[in-house]
Structure 1
Amino acid sequence: MAFIPQDALQNLHKYAYKGVDKSPLSKYVLNPFWTWFVTLWPLSVAPNTITLSGLSIVFLNFATVLLYDPAYLTEKGGVVIPSWVYFSCSIGLFMYQSFDAIDGKQARRTGMAGPLGEMFDHGCDAMNTTLEVILAAQALNLGRSWWTVASQMATLANFYLTTWEEYHTGELYLGVFSGPVEGILMIVVIYAISGVYGPSFWDTGILSFLRLTNVPLINQLPDLPLNDSFMVFGAFGVAFNVQASYRNVRRAMLSKGKSTTWPLLLLLPFVVSAAIQLFWLSHPRYDDAVLLNSALFVPFLCAWGLQFAHQVGRMILAHVTSSPFPWWDWMWVWSLVAAVDANLPLIPGRAPLIQTNETNRTLVVYLTLAVSFAAYARFCTLVINDITNFMGIACFTVRKKDKNGVWQDTTPTTAGVAVGPDDKKKL
């Protein structure tokens, strides 16, 4: 195989998705809707087609926002986006959540549940994560700011934690309040509010909004803007998720008689990769320009998001193939070289060697975006090819049963060996 080690391929047959969702909202409100919604889709539609359709809606929302605000400025910067754009983002994200929720149901309806769907679903989620951070920050009137960077950091950390937890426990655990359910719905509401009142609404102080400015003691607290308050709330959410995820991992390790501290070391890859990006982004002012205050901010975040998607994609692949945890990613070297070059002015009398002017900075950032995209596209293509070739399935084609009830797959070979009836039953 091109990407998955030969000895790990057999583990694909052993993989079975396990998930726990403790959300009352999901159980009593959303799941009945999803159960009905999936029946609207013909059995001829592959689950991965539904997943990709949902992500395509988000891409359309992203392109629309950048069409009206190409330099990614907020209203403070003089750009006013039409209200319908925010409403479309609200509807689009809700549709993405719905499509993302029913692809598994469609997989069970069509007999296509398996590791390929898990990989494809999480891969789309990883890309959507960064796109929604950028869109939500614009809707919250944050724009180019360290709050947006903090939001990117917190959101990616939550995703990494969930994937790290699933790797060690063998199941995807969603608590009573989780990002894929309540978190997404919060963003849906934020888009809708921005559509009604405009992004500037989020600059209102939280005490002023709650009419607490005249309440003794409480009025001594800082009247943080609503958008900043939302970021603070997110920080507490990350802290809660860290301890909740580790508690689940610790329980799983104890049940297996393994070390409960070793898994903590596997959080370091995210810390290292995020630190490199922050080091690059926080470079000193040189030639009167910094990434945070330039139109390169969005492509920089997108490149970071694609590198992250590659990182967690390898984690998910390790999970479904029962392979060792991926510690290293070669894209770190690329970003580190760029970060060190941008920070050379920290040394008195030194200037960047590569990013010497705005043109070169633009070239480096967009080249990083292109290389990050190419690396992730290569990973997705090779993994999909490996899994489909080995298991005798197709990514976007529904398998059918013959008159004997045996699944007839679209690819007639498994790792170069003809697939027989007994193998098809296993698949």
Structure 2
Amino acid sequence: MFEYKYLTKEHLKGFNKYKYSAIDTSPLSKYVMHPTWNTIVKVIPKSIAPNLITFAGFLCMVVAVLTLTAYDYDFYAAGGRPGLLEYPCEIPKWVFTFCGVLIFMAYHLDGIDGKQARRIGVSGPLGELFDHGLDSFIVFLIPYSLISVYGRDPVFSVSCFRGFLIVLSVVMNFYVSHCEKYNTGTLYLPWSYDLSMWVSSSLFLIEGLYGPGFYKYYMFRDVTFVQALEVLIHVMGMITTYPVAVYNVYLSYKNRTGHRYTILEAARPIWSMLVMTLLVTLWALKSDNNVIEQYPRSFILMYGALFSNIACRLIIAEMTHRRCELLSWMTWPLLAGVVTSLYLPQLEAVVVHTLLILFLFSHVHYGVCVVKQICNHLKISCFTVPKEKRK
């Protein structure tokens, strides 16, 4: 079942030559987090594989999402379900505290895994791919979870569509950074990452203390806390990620340090993500049944599976110096689903859940098969440390 060969011989040869290159200039990361992680990693047994640490961080986010799904499936955390407005706080406080702790643990584990790899001498392309591949889903799951922090409130919150736009804004910062690496050969870690992890954890922990209605207030005049947070998230990407990425690509051409692709080739990673995002957004806006309000969790999770798969394929292309795909194969079933839903709205519920299952299963299959293929090629194990490295 998981023996399919997604990677070509050229991809595998590219992994043989790959060398990791990243630059992190964030003051928070440089002066606070890295020293902390350098201290923590010293107490971790050398027998624990870095990929196991990475996977543990991913599982923290999965558990957080599953917990929120069980207690707040329809994202009514702050506003209460229709007909139950006299009981607006449906989620126990401990759920928010629990999720805040899990998110902070995921953040720390993501910072420690690479240090553990260098500490025991097992750094390599599999570790980076495994780390960044799971990051592509974690970066979606964090804003996806945050929807439960502010919920669906007609006065103090935002609509599910605007919640989706917040998710979209966050994941695009991640994708733009990897488009940048596709052209420059170096991953410039955005400053917003560390800050966003601290803020996300804090939002959950504070609500764990005061309850899901805590953020229902006006910041100034008619602007609510959630609306101000919404603007801040969108602005952060525009200031800290997009212009910096464009400038770094420009410098790579000027200084002849990057790949110096033609303009069409440099822009190649854009199209698959752009087409997919436009299709999903069009579906949400034109749906007769208002699909994103009817099935917000399924609809947004479907987008997350699409995003992560396209991002993972881009990461593999940048690591192996191969051309990335122009359009993902998932574009075609998505297009068929959008057309079917818009012209046969009575089938929309079936379509959105069918696509969700298809994309999630396909992405998991892709990830498992790629990891197995690389392990077989490099003759290594994903979750165990060689005996000679444990001393």
Q: Same fold (TM over 0.5)?
A: yes
Shift of 1:23: 1.3
What secondary structure, in the 3-state scheme, does the structure 2 residue paired with 1:77 have? coil
* 2:161 corresponds to 1:158: no
Q: Counterparts in 2 of 1:326-405, with a 5 A limit?
A: 326-344=325-343, 352=344, 355-356=345-346, 360-401=347-388
Counterpart residue number, 1:215: none
What one-letter code is carried by the residue in structure 2 that aligns with 1:323? R
What secondary structure, in the 3-state scheme, does the structure 2 residue paired with 1:76 have? coil
1:359-402, CA deviations, whole angstroms, 9 ceiling, x for partnerless residues?
x4332222111110121112112211221111111111112339
What secondary structure, in the 3-state scheme, does the structure 2 residue paired with 1:401 have? helix
What one-letter code is carried by the residue in structure 2 that aligns with 1:149? F
What one-letter code is carried by the residue in structure 1 that aligns with 2:348? R
Normalized against structure 1, the TM-score is what? 0.82
Shift of 1:267: 2.1
- Structure 2 runs not aligned, ≥5 long: 82-88, 153-157
- Conservation of the 8 A alpha-carbon contact between 2:75 and 2:147: no
User: Which of 189, 192, 213 is residue 178 of structure 1 equivalent to?
Assistant: 192
Percent identical residues: 27
- Conservation of the 8 A alpha-carbon contact between 1:254 and 1:260: no
What secondary structure, in the 3-state scheme, does the structure 2 residue paired with 1:201 have? coil
Greater shift in the superposed pair: 262-271 or 318-327: 262-271
- Conservation of the 8 A alpha-carbon contact between 1:140 and 1:194: no
1:221-255, CA deviations, whole angstroms, 9 ceiling, x for partnerless residues?
x5311111111111212222111111111111233
Cα distance in 2 between the residues matched to 1:199 and 1:189? 13
Shift of 1:333: 0.9
Counterpart residue number, 2:10: 7
* 2:170 corresponds to 1:187: no
Cα distance in 2 between the residues matched to 1:117 and 1:259? 27
- Conservation of the 8 A alpha-carbon contact between 1:280 and 1:338: no
What secondary structure, in the 3-state scheme, does the structure 2 residue paired with 1:281 have? helix
Counterpart residue number, 2:226: 227
Cα distance in 2 between the residues matched to 1:362 and 1:63? 21
User: Which of 54, 61, 82 is residue 64 of structure 2 equivalent to?
Assistant: 61
What one-letter code is carried by the residue in structure 1 that aligns with 2:328? D
- Conservation of the 8 A alpha-carbon contact between 2:182 and 2:318: yes
1:298-338, CA deviations, whole angstroms, 9 ceiling, x for partnerless residues?
01111111111110100011111111122110111111111
Cα distance in 1 between the residues matched to 2:35 and 2:56? 21
Q: Return the structure number with greater relative CO, CA threshold 8 A, min gap 6.
A: 2
Cα distance in 1 between the residues matched to 2:65 and 2:251? 40
What one-letter code is carried by the residue in structure 1 that aligns with 2:248? N
Q: Counterparts in 2 of 1:3-152, with a 5 A limit?
A: 3-78=6-81, 80-142=90-152, 145-152=160-167
- Structure 1 runs not aligned, ≥5 long: 208-221, 345-351, 406-427
Q: Counterparts in 2 of 1:233-272, with a 5 A limit?
A: 233-240=232-239, 241-256=241-256, 258=260, 261-262=263-264, 263-272=266-275
What one-letter code is carried by the residue in structure 2 that aligns with 1:125? D
Normalized against structure 2, the TM-score is what? 0.90
What secondary structure, in the 3-state scheme, does the structure 2 residue paired with 1:266 have? helix
Greater shift in the superposed pair: 142-151 or 43-52: 142-151
CA RMSD of aligned residues (A): 2.1
Greater shift in the superposed pair: 142-151 or 242-251: 142-151
Cα distance in 2 between the residues matched to 1:268 and 1:113? 32
What one-letter code is carried by the residue in structure 2 that aligns with 1:151? I
Cα distance in 2 between the residues matched to 1:18 and 1:249? 15
1:156-207, CA deviations, whole angstroms, 9 ceiling, x for partnerless residues?
21111011112212222124x322x111111111112222233333231112
Go from structure 1 to structure 2 and tell me whether the alpha carbon gap of 1:259 and 1:55 turns closer, same or farther (over 3 Å shift): closer
Cα distance in 2 between the residues matched to 1:171 and 1:102? 20
Cα distance in 2 between the residues matched to 1:248 and 1:299? 36
- Conservation of the 8 A alpha-carbon contact between 2:72 and 2:148: no
Aligned length: 372
What one-letter code is carried by the residue in structure 2 that aligns with 1:235? H
What secondary structure, in the 3-state scheme, does the structure 1 residue paired with 2:327 have? coil
Greater shift in the superposed pair: 361-370 or 306-315: 361-370
Cα distance in 1 between the residues matched to 2:255 and 2:370? 32
- Conservation of the 8 A alpha-carbon contact between 1:83 and 1:194: yes
Greater shift in the superposed pair: 334-343 or 242-251: 334-343
What secondary structure, in the 3-state scheme, does the structure 1 residue paired with 2:151 have? coil
Shift of 1:4: 1.5
What secondary structure, in the 3-state scheme, does the structure 2 residue paired with 1:206 have? strand
What one-letter code is carried by the residue in structure 1 that aligns with 2:382? C
Greater shift in the superposed pair: 104-113 or 254-263: 254-263
